[in-house]
Chain A
Amino acid sequence: MASNPEEIRKHQKLYLFIGCVLLIFTGVTVLMTTIDLGTPGVGPSDIAAGLAIATFKSSLVALIFMHLNSEKKLIYKFLLFTMIFFAGMMTLFVLAKLDPITFSFYH
């Protein structure tokens, strides 16, 4: 993470650029709702595409604004454990809807 004033001064353009990218991709996500991706209305592909853009945007926020692109090791260790538990929790919820015999989701 940039810590001396000179480096920070240089980073300001990057912050502005990332802000613009985030604004543009917000617009793109809204425009996507007007396009059919396979199924009429909102289908799984629409949700997947929307979440992919959201993930991209949140990655930019985390990496650039939260400086995770150059953080200390200890922070990465915290986040690694968090991600493991987070993924485990999401999986448990999804598995609750999974039929163990047919491996299809209950409706």
Chain B
Amino acid sequence: MEIPYTVTARSDTGLWNAKIGIWLFLASEVMLFGGLFSSYVYLRMGADFPWPVHELKVLPGFLNTMNLIISSVTVVFAWASLKMRMYTRYKICMSITLACAVIFMCIKAYEYSGKFAHYGVTLNDGTVLEGHPVDDLISFDDVTAITVTTATSDLKFLNERDGDDAPVMVKKPLELDGADAASDLPAEFELDSGNLRSIKKAARQKELAAVRLELTSAPLAFNVHERRQKGYNDTQLTFRDGTTLEGKMTNDSIVFGVDRIDMRMTKDIENSPFFGLLSPEGESWEEWKGKFLKHYGSTMDEFLREHEEFDKAKALENVEFQRVGLRLATVEPGSHHYPEVVIPRSEKRFYSNFTPRYNPYYAIYFLMTGLHGLHVIGGALVMGYMLFFNGWLYKKNPEHLANRVEVAGLFWHFVDLIWIFLFPLYYLF
């Protein structure tokens, strides 16, 4: 049975099926993105930290906006070409649209990767250091016992070992005595995946949540990446999978290449403990205090010259002055020789790369642009299908293909329309 109204319109509504379908879908999309734009407004109005403005490079966003506008023109031309039965021109226009989609995603990937590689450390006094970690590993030595959890532990933690890959030998735990699954284990055995499976099975039989394994081989040393650990103190370190090491924490400082000092949230700039920290060579950051205060003073003078209606107190409350005057870039644009600082973990309040967990700005930025990116991919896939696999439909019924392209085009214009708002909100204002 042939489905009616796929090509011709119903006489009462004047519309064909897919046209109604896409508009209902777009209506739901308006509510979806509307909710996210509302969340953006809510987060921005209620932010308890300086809302990042001009944090994203304008050029990639600008190029992507141009790119989407051009693709909007080409997709409408693709539809017009089909209506005029110009199939070759349709294919050219559709190919340009797809190329624009690919370029859009490449630029987005470039932007995202830049953010993922950029870190921020918030110190206890509110000072934020932005830059790149040089060494943020937690050194844990003299490990003589490992506790594995029955539910979640695996052997990935051994990849964080420092030094040789010699087998890790452990003593058979006494609490597993009597469990069938542990009956084949000798008194001393290698901690490999097969034996770990037996240990976990035996622990389940004995209803144990975790099993402590004492090492019989030489004590181990670990260099654990920040994101791998769940918590630690001087004598214990727990991985995210629940595996716990018993040993001695020997170094947990972060060596950090600083590209920007942000003191907008610092309680007392003059006496910030940040300036008391040292570089890996032992040089004091005290000299940066002079640089920072000089920058602050000259920015203030310039600001008051440009805005005669402001006095010093009023300028200090101004978001733009804070943005420019209370932040100092430590290197010239384009330079990659960042001054380094050694930050003890005890001085750190928060440490993350610029991902959704960094702050609500990045959370909503990645959510909205990520969802928008998924729409770009979805639209490109549909249009790619029409371009490469719908030639037969053109031969059978060109009007049907024109209707399909119109529906895909409507979706594509909507994607462009959303970006038209995302661009100024995130990149410009």
| Residues of chain A at the chain B interface (Cβ within 8 Å) | 3, 5, 8-9, 11-12, 15-16, 18-19, 22-23, 26, 29-30, 32-33, 39-42, 46-47, 50-51, 53-54, 57-58, 61-62, 65-66, 72-75, 78-79, 81-82, 85-86, 89-90, 92-94, 96-97, 105-107
Partner of B62, one of A30, A46, A53: A30
Q: Are B429 and A8 in contact (CB under 8 A)?
A: no
Q: Are B30 and A82 in contact (CB under 8 A)?
A: yes
Q: Are B320 and A81 in contact (CB under 8 A)?
A: no
Chain A positions within 8 Å of B73 at CB level: 15-16, 18-19, 65
| Residues of chain B at the chain A interface (Cβ within 8 Å) | 13-15, 19-20, 23-24, 27, 30-31, 34-35, 37-39, 41-42, 45-46, 53-54, 58, 62, 65-66, 69-70, 72-73, 76-77, 80, 83-85, 303, 306-307, 310, 318-321, 323, 409-410, 413-414, 416-417, 420-421, 423-425, 428-429
23 sampled A-B residue pairs with Cβ under 8 A = A8-B84, A12-B80, A15-B73, A15-B80, A26-B69, A30-B62, A33-B58, A39-B320, A40-B310, A41-B320, A46-B429, A50-B424, A50-B425, A61-B72, A61-B413, A61-B417, A62-B417, A74-B15, A75-B15, A78-B24, A90-B38, A90-B41, A93-B41
Chain A positions within 8 Å of B85 at CB level: 5
Chain B positions within 8 Å of A54 at CB level: 420-421, 423-424
The 5 A-B residue pairs whose C-beta atoms are closest, nearest first, are: A41-B320, A19-B73, A93-B38, A50-B424, A82-B27
Q: Is the interface of A mostly helix, strand, loop or mixed?
A: helix
Q: Is the interface of B mostly helix, strand, loop or mixed?
A: helix
CB distance from B201 to the nearest CB of A (A): 52
Q: Are B429 and A65 in contact (CB under 8 A)?
A: no
CB distance from A99 to the nearest CB of B (A): 12
Chain B positions within 8 Å of A39 at CB level: 318, 320
Bound complex: CA of A32 vs CA of B428, how far in Å? Answer: 9
Q: Are B13 and A42 in contact (CB under 8 A)?
A: no
Chain B positions within 8 Å of A32 at CB level: 428
Chain B positions within 8 Å of A72 at CB level: 13-15
Chain B positions within 8 Å of A75 at CB level: 15, 19, 23
Chain B positions within 8 Å of A22 at CB level: 69, 72
Contact A93 to B42, CB < 8 A, known contacts A29-B424, A58-B417, A72-B13: yes
CB distance from A9 to the nearest CB of B (A): 6
